[in-house]
Structure 1
Amino acid sequence: MNERLIGAHIIRLNRVDSTNDYVKRKLSTLSAGTVVIAAEQTCGRGRGGHVWTSCRGKGLTFSIRLSARTGARTVPLYHLFPAVAIVDFLRSENIAAQIKWPNDIVVQGRKIAGILVETISYSQRVDVILGIGLNVNDDEADFPQHLRCSVGSMKSVSGKEYSLKAVFNKVLEFLDRLYSDVQKEDGWLALRDKWVDYCAHIHRPVNIARKNGAAAGIFRGIDDYGFAVIESKGQQLVVRDYAHISLREDHDTRN
């Protein structure tokens, strides 16, 4: 049996500004696979500078410290594998979760989990911090008013209440297992195929908000290096960043 990496060492905090920021401050002293979980975050962050709102005692907010050799697929791998692992877990709980590019977890269009990936690159390696927020027992009233139509929780979609401890332990098991699997020779291809299978907007019209301007097209999947592929005006556009993608209201696939 392979020795566990993710979750072999767990640091539990009562209150912290951000688990990702805590890991950054302690990076040199934390071994790969260390997990930092907090009962409460005062400055939780999501992708694109957004605030991650979590309710104490109802959801999970934790970060994982990892490290890898520098490679063409290194950063994309860490954006994609946590999302697939969490969807694997949710589906094992009979929750029909999907992935919205690159790693938002949605159920019936409502976001119930998010992942913030931060990297520090060196010449031969990359240190990676995975920040994960999962809404578990949150009720609608626990979310800010402006988010209530777009977010949810495991409880809100299943009608069941969950043990935070049990959910946390299971999520770590799924993350560790998949992380081990993707290190194998065919692991990347299997991960890519599974991500596409879980994608909420595969072959659907999308808008792309990018720093150098917006674009629109049909989301066709991800390429061999883990970047989004959009078909736009008869051409294949590879989105080599983690731009925000939203579904278009129209369904004209001619672009």
Structure 2
Amino acid sequence: MTNTIIDKNEIAKYLNSSLNILTFDEINSTNDYAKKIAEKRPDTATLIVSDHQTAGYGRFKRDFYSPANTGIYMSLLLPINKVETDLLTLKACVATVKALQLNFPNADLKIKWINDILLNNKKISGILAESISDGKNGIAYVVLGIGVNLNTADFPQELHDIASSITDSITLNRNKIIGDIVNEFFKINHAENFLAEYIRLCGTIGKRVELVNGNQHIVGTAEMIKPDGSLVIKDDKKNLHCFNSGEITKVYLK
């Protein structure tokens, strides 16, 4: 691959806002590094980007495959007083899709509730939001992790059927795409109508799905997303179930 090298000065050229930017050739996890930075109590937002993660992870601490030079692995460390914290995961999903559409206008991207972005029913991106306590029963920071498979070609065997990349192009400007994601996020963060855009992009609505939430296992039709971001599923007995957490483990395509 001949993708552009991750470079903080190049990223800064594409940003519409001022951020502290840290870049690495390799790191265990950008989210974990953001948590370490938070211990120093910075008062400005920080963007952490790495070319490669050795221990990248998503929801439920599952591994996020993060090979060098083929993807975007980034985290935003956001002081709680600098960001609207409601529905951050959903906002980041919309921002990531919109940024990717700027660069790949022909890609038919869909969101799978709650935090995955799919292309042709395979995952190309995942979002993970984590909060950091202020030590006084409150939240001081939010860490927003975003991983995107841009042109990853060689996935581990266990990911062949569920993961993909957004393109097979061998030359991509990752610095611009990173800047676009950040810009779209800050634009959407204060937008009042972003949820309508999330619903429009969500490929889960109207589909028959299986959802697991702790000991609960529900099969039914995804009916709607409520204003608080929760998903309503109608089971085969016409009962409605509302979930603000959980994982859709299967989407029936027919």
TM-score tier after normalising by the smaller chain length: 0.7 to 0.9
Cα distance in 1 for partners of 2:240, 2:79 equals 32
Moved runs in structure 1, 4+ residues, more than 4 A?
121-126
Is 2:107 the partner of 1:103? no
Cα distance in 2 for partners of 1:250, 1:116 equals 26
Q: Structure 1: state its 5+ residue gaps.
A: none
Matched position secondary structure for 1:197: helix
Cα distance in 2 for partners of 1:32, 1:203 equals 41
Would you say the 8 A contact 1:98–1:199 is kept in 2? yes
Would you say the 8 A contact 2:93–2:117 is kept in 1? yes
TM-score by length of 2: 0.83
Cα distance in 2 for partners of 1:248, 1:170 equals 30
Would you say the 8 A contact 1:204–1:247 is kept in 2? no
Match of 2:124 among 112, 122, 127: 112
Instruction: Considering Cα pairs closer than 8 Å and 6+ residues apart, tell me whether 1 or 2 has the greater RCO.
Output: 2
Cα distance in 1 for partners of 2:21, 2:76 equals 9
Q: Equivalent residues in 2 for 1:187-198 (5 A)?
A: 187=192, 190-198=193-201
Deviation at residue 106 of structure 1 after TM alignment: 0.4
Matched position secondary structure for 2:52: strand
Matched position secondary structure for 2:31: helix
Match of 1:67 among 79, 82, 92: 79
Deviation at residue 236 of structure 1 after TM alignment: 2.3
Deviation at residue 61 of structure 1 after TM alignment: 0.5
- Report the residue type matching 2:178 in the other structure: F
Aligned to 1:53: 65
Aligned to 1:165: 175
Aligned to 2:32: 21
Deviation at residue 14 of structure 1 after TM alignment: 2.3
Deviation at residue 191 of structure 1 after TM alignment: 1.6
Q: Structure 2: state its 5+ residue gaps.
A: 1-14
Aligned to 1:82: 92
Match of 1:245 among 234, 241, 248: 248
Deviation at residue 230 of structure 1 after TM alignment: 1.2
CA 1:109/1:154 → structure 2, altered by over 3 Å: closer, same or farther? same
Aligned to 2:10: none
Aligned to 1:236: 240
Matched position secondary structure for 2:25: strand
Would you say the 8 A contact 2:43–2:79 is kept in 1? no
Cα distance in 2 for partners of 1:210, 1:98 equals 22
Matched position secondary structure for 1:16: coil
Cα distance in 2 for partners of 1:97, 1:8 equals 28
Cα distance in 2 for partners of 1:171, 1:177 equals 10
Cα distance in 2 for partners of 1:32, 1:224 equals 29
Matched position secondary structure for 1:112: strand
Matched position secondary structure for 1:155: coil
Matched position secondary structure for 1:165: helix
CA 1:125/1:59 → structure 2, altered by over 3 Å: closer, same or farther? same
Cα distance in 2 for partners of 1:117, 1:245 equals 18
Would you say the 8 A contact 1:67–1:125 is kept in 2? no
The Cα offsets for residues 83-120 of structure 1, whole Å up to 9 and x where unpaired, read as 00111122222121110010101011011111111113
Cα distance in 1 for partners of 2:131, 2:186 equals 19
Give the % identical residues. Answer: 27
Deviation at residue 206 of structure 1 after TM alignment: 0.6
Aligned to 2:228: 225
Count, aligned residues: 232
Is 2:218 the partner of 1:212? no
